[in-house]
Structure formats: structure tokens, C-alpha cells
Amino acid sequence: MIDLPQPTGAELWPPEEAGPRARLHKPWRTLVAVVEVLLAVAGAWAVYALWHGGRATVVTHTDDGAALESHRYFGGMLAGAIGLGVVVALLLVDAVRQLSLALRARHRAPKA
């Protein structure tokens, strides 16, 4: 076993940075959360439009009067809907984070 010297309080690495500490509690984060929710709502509408535009129903009538119905799917539009859905989900998660930081995080008093 190797016995290495243990650092004391003055030798801690990385050294503390000089200057004021960053605050997490910033009220403007509420506005950011509201904008992100509005963008997510607009994105959800676009996901709905892309998803329903990504498929088509084709009906063919035969000579004996039978109606054959088939569905055609357009992969690009469906992939776009899925990708945009992921972006909408990320916007909502970040909106919750921004709102929680705006409401709950408080500045701690400096240690004496």
C-alpha cells in the first residue's frame, strides 16, 4: 500500500474561483419556460399534421364491383413527425427544468 499525503483545506484542487458565484434563481427563467411551452404546442400541431400527411388511403374499384383499399406510407414525413416529436419532448422537459429553477432554487448564504 502506498501512503500518499492527503490534501488539506488550502491545497484542494481545483482551486476556488475568485468572484461572485453564479445564481440559479433567476426570475426570467419563467419567461423562458413559457416560450418553450408555446414552441412545444406549435411543434405538437406540426407533428400531428406531418403524421397524418404521411399516409394515404388508396381505393381501387375492380371490374366486378369490389373495392380494394390499401394504405401508402411516406417515410420522410413519418420520420419528420417522430423527430419533431422528440424535439417537442425535449422542449417540455427543459421548460419544467427552467420553471423549477425559477421557483425553487435560492441563493445560499456564503460560508463563513
Domains of the chain, residue spans: 40-59+72-105
Give the C-alpha separation, 62 to 2, whole Å: 87
pLDDT by 10-residue block (mean), the chain, 112 residues:
70 65 75 96 97 94 92 95 98 94 67 56
Give me the pLDDT at residue 16, please: 66
**88 contacts 45 by C-beta, under 8 angstroms:** no
Give me the pLDDT at residue 89, please: 98
Give me the pLDDT at residue 28, please: 84
Dihedrals phi, psi of 73, to nearest 5 degrees? -115, 140
- C-alpha cell at position 57: 388511403
**Local structure of residue 13 (DSSP, 8 states):** S
Q: Which residue has the cell 406531418?
A: 50
